Structure 1
Amino acid sequence: MGEVDPAFIQDPEHRPKLSATEAEGIPLIALSPLNSSDNISDPKAIEGVVREIGNACKEWGFFQVINHGVLLDKHKKIKAAARKFFAQPLKEKRKITRDEKSLFGYYDTEHTKNVRDWKEVFDFTVEEPMLMPASIDPEDKEETKWTNQWPEYPPELRVACEEYTEEVEKLALKLMGLIALSLGMPGDRFTSYFKDQTSFIRLNYYPPCPSLQLALGVGRHKDSGALTVLAQDEVVGLEVKRKRDGEWIQVKPTPNAYIINVGDISFWSNDRYESVEHRVLVNSERGRFSIPYFVNPAHYTLVRPLEELAHEQEDPAKYKPYSWGKFLSHRKLSNFKKHNAENIQLYHFRVSE
């Protein structure tokens, strides 16, 4: 990795407090009632899970799930293949570097000159090809196709990624159904939005960092999609900003658990649920792996508060509609082009009070 930019030292807003509060962790929820063969005869158990998820989304924006039904051997295979890929020399990994034409593939912070984020990444789309708008012009109705880049080595990486995707996709859609139920809607309320989903998966590698005070694995941010399903290894790093007091809370790894957080599209709920800031700290001695699955709707989805939850008199819509595809294209392309305006953000669509 490259040297840390000296200007970063003077930016206390983004420097981590290394003594994060650990007194309280994000909720841990067992999904075993949903995987039980007799769950139909015990609706109260499922109601309990729905209630726990609703409370976690409202109070934290984050939770962990165990007994989720994902086959663990698929996770082991993708992790092993990812380790082989990231262990290669940079020149080999950069053969599939993402760019303006190929938006999926590899990148590293030295290559992109982004010294604030100390990591390497490999992205791939869940549905290939991913259908997207041809441009960010609101009037342009043309579609384009985004495709994956796969490395020659290790040869098993592609199969491991595709098998893992099948497993975690089931969990992601199950969670979207539970979230719908927690909002008082039918469990299939969100299903149609993901017919041509623009979801993608990221393999993150955070190398050991010699200057803990000067860099983050990932700086403070919110996820822009509907939901994120994250697998992490045993190395501590993820921190969540607790809503009630703004304290950074360390998420201690739980064996075989997935970490779930709602993204900015949670404004479907008209702010009943909100995305929250999170970040990743680096480690001076050990590298860290994580695998987030960013659950996103079809590009032609018009995102806005749902009519069931935005009542004109009692609780009017707090956001204006926006095109998810144009939003995502703008975000992705901003990695390669500088726009005159600020990068598009959720609050740009908030209705003025």
Structure 2
Amino acid sequence: MGDLDLSFIQDLENRPHVKVIEPEEVPVIDFFTSSHGDTKEIVSEIGNACRKWGFFQVINHGVPLELSKRMAKMAKEFFDQPIEEKKKVKRDEGNSMGYHDSEHTKNVRDWKEVFDFSLEDPRLVPAMDNLDDQELRTISNRWPQYPNEFRKACQEYSREVEKLGYRLLKLVSLSLGLPANRLNGFFIDQTSLCRINHYPPCPNPNLALGVGRHKDFSALTVLAQDDVGGLEIRRKSDGEWIPVKPIPDAFIVNVGDIIQVWSNDTYESVEHRVVVNTEKERFSIPVLLLPAHHVNIEPLEELLNEQNPSKYQRYNWGKFYASRIRGDYKKRDVENIQIHHLKKQHP
């Protein structure tokens, strides 16, 4: 399999070592242990977690704790502002980056507000009103004037998490029996984004969800959650909703639709949701790793054979993404396109 460079883990000897939770919980993968052992061990752990759960947590991962704390502080300061201030950077049909809440999308049952920004700024995406041709448009991030350090904190934090995400992609690739860099080329001129979620206390938590059940359309999602909790995943073995317990300074990682297609269903994008409560606000910050707009998504040919033929039609990522964004604003007669719509029918 070859050695994977794990030198990114910094000063681990000086970090407090985190206790791993019980095995029946979502798997926890410790990069401290893996950095002192065989690369095959961590590759095997990630492969098993992707097959059984589609989710895992990583600890001792090398992302500086001070950046995470600063990011959490900036997030709270931004969302604590009056709604009139937040709306100065609200998103719209022409640009999906910026602030929005459930009141301004079709997902009116979601009890949350959000700020989105792209890791590449500006970036090219297909024009939403011209999905049948190759017309592109440029979108740029919308940054608020306050907090003063908000933009800098967002950019520094997301770049560090992005580095972790790409290291995880290499490990996922190795776990599929592929070269570590097999997926790298898809992310040149990437469309990856970071989302800051704020879930206020809800007076009627039985009537709403922070986010309804869904699957991520990303390749991988790398998420930080605070100590309030609320994320639940649908366990593959029995369909039960399982809470993901907060672990200090951990990241939650989940397989998205793109890896499900690339792996030809070896790994599955798993449903998850967020529940809310009456007493405490909650923050979470996912970084969604997304390929370039021109990339066509289809099962990787190295994983296919007569016994395992391709299960998906090819789709263009940029047009798929633009179609999903358009569906957030315009009522449509059909459901937003999902990867199960692209399944091939085999005899």
One fold, TM greater than 0.5? yes
User: Does the CA-based 8 Å contact 1:136-1:326 persist in structure 2?
Assistant: no
Could you say what secondary structure the match of 1:54 adopts?
A: helix
Q: Structure 1 residue 105 and structure 2 residue 98: aligned? A: yes
2:197 alignment partner AA: N
Offset at residue 25 of structure 1 (A) = 1.2
Q: Which residue of 2 aligns with 1:171?
A: 164
2:286 alignment partner AA: P
Q: Structure 1 residue 26 and structure 2 residue 20: aligned? A: no
Offset at residue 114 of structure 1 (A) = 3.7
Q: Structure 1 residue 116 and structure 2 residue 109: aligned? A: yes
Q: C-alpha separation between the residues in 2 aligned to 1:77 and 1:173?
A: 22
Q: Structure 1 residue 328 and structure 2 residue 325: aligned? A: no
- Greater mean alpha carbon deviation, residues 180-189 or residues 102-111: 102-111
Going from structure 1 to structure 2, the CA distance change for 1:28 and 1:88 (only over 3 Å counts) comes to same
Instruction: List alignment gaps of at least 5 residues for structure 1.
Output: 1-21
Q: C-alpha separation between the residues in 2 aligned to 1:217 and 1:137?
A: 32
Q: Structure 1 residue 286 and structure 2 residue 292: aligned? A: no
Q: Which residue of 1 aligns with 2:189?
A: 196
TM-score, normalising length from structure 2?
Answer: 0.90
Offset at residue 137 of structure 1 (A) = 4.4
Could you say what secondary structure the match of 1:74 adopts?
A: helix
Q: C-alpha separation between the residues in 1 aligned to 2:30 and 2:289?
A: 21
Q: Structure 1 residue 237 and structure 2 residue 230: aligned? A: yes
User: Does the CA-based 8 Å contact 2:29-2:59 persist in structure 1?
Assistant: yes
What's the RMSD between the two structures over aligned residues? 1.5
Offset at residue 112 of structure 1 (A) = 3.6
Q: Structure 1 residue 84 and structure 2 residue 70: aligned? A: no
Report Cα offsets for 1:208-237 as digits up to 9, x if no partner: 001111000000000011010000000010
Q: Structure 1 residue 306 and structure 2 residue 315: aligned? A: no
Going from structure 1 to structure 2, the CA distance change for 1:213 and 1:277 (only over 3 Å counts) comes to same
Q: Which residue of 2 aligns with 1:348?
A: 341
Offset at residue 341 of structure 1 (A) = 2.6
Offset at residue 89 of structure 1 (A) = 0.9
User: Does the CA-based 8 Å contact 1:193-1:298 persist in structure 2?
Assistant: yes
Equivalent residues, number: 324
Q: Structure 1 residue 295 and structure 2 residue 297: aligned? A: no
Report Cα offsets for 1:266-289 as digits up to 9, x if no partner: 210000000000000001100000
User: Does the CA-based 8 Å contact 1:33-1:46 persist in structure 2?
Assistant: no
Q: C-alpha separation between the residues in 1 aligned to 2:116 and 2:29?
A: 28
User: Does the CA-based 8 Å contact 1:222-1:275 persist in structure 2?
Assistant: yes
Q: C-alpha separation between the residues in 1 aligned to 2:230 and 2:104?
A: 23
TM-score, normalising length from structure 1?
Answer: 0.89
Q: Which residue of 2 aligns with 1:46?
A: 39
Could you say what secondary structure the match of 1:332 adopts?
A: helix
Q: C-alpha separation between the residues in 2 aligned to 1:83 and 1:138?
A: 37
Could you say what secondary structure the match of 1:334 adopts?
A: helix
Instruction: List alignment gaps of at least 5 residues for structure 2.
Output: 1-21
Offset at residue 136 of structure 1 (A) = 6.1
Q: C-alpha separation between the residues in 2 aligned to 1:346 and 1:166?
A: 28
Report Cα offsets for 1:88-124 as digits up to 9, x if no partner: 1111111111001121000112344643100010000
Going from structure 1 to structure 2, the CA distance change for 1:257 and 1:116 (only over 3 Å counts) comes to same
Could you say what secondary structure the match of 1:335 adopts?
A: helix
Structure 1 residue corresponding to 2:265, chosen from 261, 271, 274: 271
Could you say what secondary structure the match of 2:171 adopts?
A: helix
- Greater mean alpha carbon deviation, residues 120-129 or residues 143-152: 143-152
Going from structure 1 to structure 2, the CA distance change for 1:116 and 1:139 (only over 3 Å counts) comes to closer
Report Cα offsets for 1:289-337 as digits up to 9, x if no partner: 00000111111110000001122x1210000100000000001121112
Offset at residue 31 of structure 1 (A) = 1.4
1:53 alignment partner AA: I
Q: C-alpha separation between the residues in 1 aligned to 2:103 and 2:94?
A: 20
User: Does the CA-based 8 Å contact 2:231-2:244 persist in structure 1?
Assistant: yes
Could you say what secondary structure the match of 2:303 adopts?
A: coil
User: Does the CA-based 8 Å contact 1:24-1:249 persist in structure 2?
Assistant: no
Offset at residue 139 of structure 1 (A) = 4.2
Report Cα offsets for 1:178-231 as digits up to 9, x if no partner: 000000000000000011111100000000001111000000000011010000
- Greater mean alpha carbon deviation, residues 91-100 or residues 118-127: 91-100
Q: Which residue of 2 aligns with 1:155?
A: 148
User: Does the CA-based 8 Å contact 1:124-1:201 persist in structure 2?
Assistant: yes
Report Cα offsets for 1:107-155 as digits up to 9, x if no partner: 1123446431000100000101121112464541222111110111111
